[in-house]
């Protein structure tokens, strides 16, 4: 990573900014997951590289797996009280443009 005209942050700043611990960031730097440079004994990385590392990755789950999970949860869940059911039905109806 070239240092010229590149904004770098130190490891402590990266830890604070990302909510990852120093040891976790060091482990990922050692593994090559996060590009970094060492200057006079201190570790620096680009904010963009930290952002890329911390960006959420979408999880793709087949509809059938979600339906199976929902059926298992519904089978073990306690029954709703009538007032709870009315609140839930009202929320879904308004969200779906119904009554």
Dihedral of the alpha carbons of 37, 43, 48, 51, in degrees to the nearest 10: 140
- How do residues 30-87 score in pLDDT, each as one tens digit? 999 999 999 999 999 999 999 999 999 898 989 999 999 999 999 999 999 999 999 9
Distance CA 74, CA 6 (A): 53
Question: Closest Cα to residue 34, out of 13, 52, 10?
Answer: 52
Q: In which band, very low, low, confident or very high, does the pLDDT at 90 lie, cut at 50, 70 and 90?
A: very high
């Amino acid at each position: 990573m070239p240092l010229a005209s590149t904004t770098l942050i130190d490891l402590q700043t990266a830890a604070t900014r990302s909510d990852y611990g120093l040891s976790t960031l060091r482990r990922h730097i050692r593994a090559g997951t996060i590009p970094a440079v060492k200057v006079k004994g201190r570790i620096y990385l680009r904010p963009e590289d930290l952002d890329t590392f911390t960006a959420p990755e979408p999880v793709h789950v087949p509809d059938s797996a979600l339906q199976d999970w929902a059926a298992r949860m519904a089978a073990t869940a306690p029954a709703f009280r009538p007032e709870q059911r009315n609140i839930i039905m009202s929320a879904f109806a308004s969200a779906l443009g119904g009554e």
